[in-house]
Amino acid sequence: MVKKLDVINKEHWSGDYRKFGRRAVAVFLQCWMIESIADLLSHLPDGPSDRRNGSYKRHLLIEIGDILHAVPRTKTYKPAKVPEACA
């Protein structure tokens, strides 16, 4: 059973809940993006065609607040595909 999260009722969703909620979303996104990069790289032929190339910081504004997260990148992967996958 899935229960709808009613974030509009600020009385029940405030204080530490918002902080922990933002942290949970940030951890989920970070793990999902790292797994996506690993999956992408695992399907490429061996050699210098592509590899990890660090990350960069981005803010993501959601209903429960601002999330600062690190977007991983590779030499050729375009992270702009990530929002398309979430749509």
For 16, list phi and psi in degrees, rounded to 5: -65, -30
User: What are the tens digits of pLDDT across the range 18-63?
Assistant: 889 889 998 998 888 888 888 888 887 776 677 777 788 888 888 8
**Structure letter (DSSP) for residue 45:** P
* 3 pLDDT tier (thresholds 50, 70, 90): very low
Q: Two tokens at 34?
A: 């790292």
Q: Two tokens at 48?
A: 């210098």
pTM of the model: 0.63
Q: Two tokens at 52?
A: 């990890």
Which range of 44-53, 66-75, 77-86 scores highest in mean pLDDT? It is 66-75
58 closest CA partner among 79, 77, 40, 75: 79
* 58, 59, 61, 62: CA torsion to nearest 10: 70
* 2 pLDDT tier (thresholds 50, 70, 90): very low
